[in-house]
């Protein structure tokens, strides 16, 4: 299993501030920190000074609203996360769809064998089938490490849909659903992929696991594109000359 543990920012519980005395203490601390960072910021000048100045203003604001220092870290993280990724803490749902000129039974059969998904899903490096419809999934972190989780199939309707979810103990609890619907006018099958990640600690906290890149609509769409390429043309194309970025996959 992984060596990375997401950092816990869940300390924004205000119940410990029930005594007025504690609140006053927090307010004083925040104010002191605000003045301190303003002084350091003014002495340093430049960009870092500007950042410290802004931070000082933020702390003064917190002091004025009586929230104090506690929870500042988490609050800042959430703000940064909204700014950087447009995502609020909580479950993240991604979906994309593609039309593939093959019958739904064929597409279902390919996907149902999860061990073939690494050829299609960029973030997944290996999937191994275990007993009782369970499977072990492996993904690579940006630093070259790997992490794993186990999943089980929750729903399985041949030719129509497959739903799977991670088992207890996954770093990022997740659910996946793929649906196959006949396209109009004999154009094959409309394939819709929905992925839901719980992200109890937010998206940035999952960054060390390399999830920020994988967790985008573009990435889901790209994975579906690979599925289409493999099912229609028998291989994932590459513009490389000498070294393929992905292995060619025979259908």
Partner 1 sequence: MKAVCWHGAQDMRVDNVADPQILNPRDAIIKITSTAICGSDLHLYGGFMPGMQAGDIVGHEFMGEVVELGSAVTNLSIGNRVVVPFTIACGQCFFCDSGYHSLCDNSNPNAGIAEKMWGQSPSGLFGYTHILGGYAGGQAEYVRVPYADVGPMVVPESVSDEQALFLTDIFPTGYQAIAQCDMQPGDTVAIWGCGPVGQFAIASAKMLGAARVIAIDTVNERLDMAARQHGAETLNPRDVGNTLQIVEALRDMTAGRGPDICVDAVGLEAHGVGPEYWYDNIKQSLQMETARPIVLRQAIMACRKAGTVSIPGVYGGIADKIPIGALMNKALTIKTGQTHVQHYLKPLMDHVERGDIDPSFVITHRMRLDQAPEAYDMFQARRDNCIKVVMQP
Name which of 160 and 222 has its Cβ closer to partner 1. Answer: 222
Task: Give the shortest CB-60-to-partner 1 separation in angstroms.
Answer: 42
CB 18 within 8 A of CB 25: no
Name which of 63 and 231 has its Cβ closer to partner 1. Answer: 231
Among the listed residues 37, 66, 61, the one whose alpha carbon sits nearest the alpha carbon of residue 51? 37
Using the 8-state DSSP alphabet, how is residue 27 labeled? H
Handedness of CA 20, 22, 26, 29 (dihedral sign): positive
Spatial distance between the Cα atoms of 205 and 81, rounded to a whole number of angstroms:
9
DSSP secondary structure of 172-198: S-EEEEEEEEEPGGG--EEEEEEEEE-
Structure tokens at 162: 């497959």
Chain contacts with partner 1 (rule: CB under 8 A):
99, 101, 187-188, 218, 221-222, 225, 228-229, 232-245, 248, 250
Name which of 80 and 101 has its Cβ closer to partner 1. Answer: 101
Which parts of 86-142 fold into alpha helices (H)? 104-112
Which parts of 65-174 fold into alpha helices (H)? 72-85, 104-112
Task: Give the shortest CB-143-to-partner 1 separation in angstroms.
Answer: 25
Name which of 151 and 236 has its Cβ closer to partner 1. Answer: 236
Name which of 131 and 243 has its Cβ closer to partner 1. Answer: 243
Name which of 131 and 250 has its Cβ closer to partner 1. Answer: 250
CB 95 within 8 A of CB 195: yes
Task: Report the C-alpha dihedral over residues 155, 158, 160, 165, rounded to 10 degrees.
Answer: 30
Task: Give the shortest CB-245-to-partner 1 separation in angstroms.
Answer: 8
Spatial distance between the Cα atoms of 95 and 77, rounded to a whole number of angstroms:
26
Task: Give the shortest CB-201-to-partner 1 separation in angstroms.
Answer: 29
Name which of 16 and 251 has its Cβ closer to partner 1. Answer: 251
Task: Give the shortest CB-128-to-partner 1 separation in angstroms.
Answer: 25
CB 220 within 8 A of CB 93: no
Task: Give the shortest CB-218-to-partner 1 separation in angstroms.
Answer: 6
Task: Give the shortest CB-226-to-partner 1 separation in angstroms.
Answer: 10
């Amino acid at each position: 299993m992984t060596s990375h543990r997401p950092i816990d920012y869940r300390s924004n519980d205000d119940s410990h501030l029930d005594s007025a005395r504690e609140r006053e203490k927090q307010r004083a601390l925040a104010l002191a920190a605000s003045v301190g960072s303003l002084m350091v910021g003014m002495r340093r000048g430049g960009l870092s000074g500007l950042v410290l100045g802004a931070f000082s203003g933020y702390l003064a604001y917190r002091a004025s609203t009586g929230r104090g220092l506690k929870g500042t870290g988490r609050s800042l993280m959430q703000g940064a996360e909204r700014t950087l990724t447009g995502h609020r803490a909580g479950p993240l749902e991604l979906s994309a769809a593609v039309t593939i000129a093959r019958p739904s039974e064929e597409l279902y059969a390919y996907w149902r064998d999860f061990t073939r998904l690494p050829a299609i899903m960029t973030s997944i490096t290996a999937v191994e089938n275990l007993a009782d419809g369970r499977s072990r999934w492996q993904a690579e972190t940006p630093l070259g490490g790997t992490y794993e989780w186990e999943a089980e199939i929750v729903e399985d309707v041949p030719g129509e849909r497959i739903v799977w979810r991670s088992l207890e103990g996954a770093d990022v609890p997740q659910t996946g659903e793929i649906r196959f619907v006949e396209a109009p006018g004999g154009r094959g099958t409309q394939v819709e992929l929905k992925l839901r990640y719980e992200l109890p600690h937010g998206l940035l906290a999952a960054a060390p696991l390399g999830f920020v890149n994988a967790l985008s609509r573009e990435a889901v769409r790209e994975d579906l594109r690979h599925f289409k390429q493999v099912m229609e043309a028998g291989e994932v194309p590459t513009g490389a000359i000498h070294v393929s970025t992905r292995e060619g996959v025979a259908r």
